[in-house]
Amino acid sequence: MKPFSILQISDLHRSPQAPLTNAELISALVEDRNRYVHEDPKITVPEAIVVCGDIIQGVPIGTKDYEIQLTQQYSVAEEFH
């Protein structure tokens, strides 16, 4: 049986102050994946990319409109696929 290769990343901390669109993020991940075949030693190209944990920046404690800001950040994160 052939092993299944997974690339796991975390702690993206995407924020409105340093915006990165989902398309830009996916493009960067695909570029990284494609680069692996040229590494020395060669790295197996992952068959899946898993993003876990800290996909938003969050907001500071005491922020007046924290619910709106968090909702906006989670909305962008939910569209990431």
1 within domain boundaries: no
Query: What is the domain count for the chain?
Result: 1
* pLDDT tens track, the chain, 81 positions: 778 888 888 887 777 777 778 888 888 888 887 887 788 887 777 888 888 878 888 888 899 999 998 998 888 888 876
Enclosing domain of residue 12: 6-78
**pLDDT for position 68:** 92
Query: DSSP 3-state assignment of 23?
Result: helix
> Side chain identity at 1, as an amino acid letter?
M
18 within domain boundaries: yes
| Spatial contact of 8 and 50, defined as CB atoms under 8 Å apart | yes
**pTM score, whole prediction:** 0.59
